[in-house]
């Protein structure tokens, strides 16, 4: 039986007077890829931010290996959870190498940090080839791969990805999602993905949650979610 790594239970988050999450619950098991889907404003990104401590819970809880925790970003990183936010957010004035070194700031041993950087560069050959180039000179797809690579430096057990295909051409989207699947398969990393490109997302996700207005309105195997027709209802405002 798989170990349930991460759970969000009955989460409530408000931004001012707006309910971003209204009792949402999700979980992530060891080594699986889980999709969070739904229209804009459904609360998908807020779930990732709540896990990482960037969107304080008004009520509800986050559990790690079954134990309730208070999400604080640097403590979450130390536990083995990495967050790649929307918009890539690389440091454009720093080189690829320097961006990766920033990602490894929690790895105090310089030899170990260098080993991990070398390993992710082997995993993303384009980054190895352009290691001394400024991140701001990379293409959108390369920047996204750099953002994911930077998140992998801590060798996380869980990777949270927010809209990894945002602004990318279809061919590049396919490459990025292939790499995401490879991260999961090769490193047994559990991955939770927020994404609007449902075709690409459902091709790699084993399970999915559908959110609407801060609540989970459907969950289950990706294929069954698609067959149920719930996505059409949510996006057409019929739920």
Q: What is the pLDDT of residue 189?
A: 93
Q: What is the pLDDT of residue 130?
A: 95
Q: Residue range 189-209: average pLDDT?
A: 91
Mean residue pLDDT of the chain comes to: 91
Q: Which two tokens stand for residue 143?
A: 């920047």
Q: What is the pLDDT of residue 175?
A: 87
| pLDDT tier for residue 239 given thresholds of 50, 70 and 90 | low
Distance CA 65, CA 63 (A): 6
More confident residue, 162 or 235: 162
Look-up: residue for tokens 């990025």?
176
Q: What is the pLDDT of residue 27?
A: 97
Percent of the chain scoring above 90 in pLDDT: 63
Which of 36, 60, 40 lies closest to 48 in space, CA to CA?
Answer: 36
Residues 103/150, Cβ–Cβ less than 8 Å: yes
pLDDT of 1 above 50? no
Q: What is the pLDDT of residue 197?
A: 85
pTM: 0.90
Percent of the chain scoring above 70 in pLDDT: 98
Give start and end residues of each alpha helix (H) in the chain.
44-52, 73-79, 96-103, 110-123, 125-129, 140-152, 170-187, 198-204, 222-228, 230-235
- Give pLDDT tens digits for 102-150: 988 888 889 999 999 999 999 999 999 999 999 999 999 899 999 999 9
For residue 14, the domain's CATH number is 3.40.50.300
- Give pLDDT tens digits for 140-186: 989 999 999 999 998 899 999 999 988 888 888 888 898 899 999 98
Q: How many domains, in total, are found in the chain? A: 1
Q: Residue range 16-31: average pLDDT?
A: 93
Q: Residue range 52-76: average pLDDT?
A: 94
The DSSP H or E segment spanning 238 is: none
Q: Which domain holds residue 229?
A: 4-235
Q: What is the pLDDT of residue 196?
A: 86
pLDDT of 215 above 90? yes
3-state secondary structure of 112: helix
3-state secondary structure of 9: strand
């Amino acid at each position: 039986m798989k170990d349930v790594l991460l759970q969000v239970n009955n989460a409530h988050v408000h931004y001012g007077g707006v309910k971003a999450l209204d009792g949402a619950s999700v979980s992530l098991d060891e080594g699986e890829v889980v999709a969070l889907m739904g229209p804009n404003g459904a609360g998908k990104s807020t779930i990732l931010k709540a896990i990482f401590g960037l969107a304080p819970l008004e009520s509800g809880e986050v559990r790690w290996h079954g134990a309730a925790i208070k999400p604080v970003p640097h403590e979450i990183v130390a536990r083995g959870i990495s967050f790649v936010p929307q918009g890539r957010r690389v440091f454009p004035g720093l080189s690829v190498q320097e961006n990766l070194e920033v990602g490894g700031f929690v790895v105090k041993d310089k030899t170990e940090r260098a080993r991990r950087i070398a390993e992710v560069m082997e995993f993303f050959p384009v980054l190895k080839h352009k290691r001394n180039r400024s991140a701001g000179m990379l293409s959108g797809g390369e920047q996204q791969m750099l953002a994911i690579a930077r998140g992998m430096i801590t060798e996380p057990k869980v990777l949270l990805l927010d809209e990894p295909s945002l602004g990318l051409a279809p061919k590049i989207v396919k490459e990025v999602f292939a790499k995401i699947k490879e991260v999961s398969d090769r490193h047994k990393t559990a991955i939770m993905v927020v994404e609007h490109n449902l075709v690409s997302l459902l091709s790699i996700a084993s399970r999915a949650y559908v959110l609407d207005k801060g609540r989970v309105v459907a969950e289950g195997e990706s294929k069954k979610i698609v067959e149920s027709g719930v996505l059409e209802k949510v996006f057409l405002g019929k739920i």
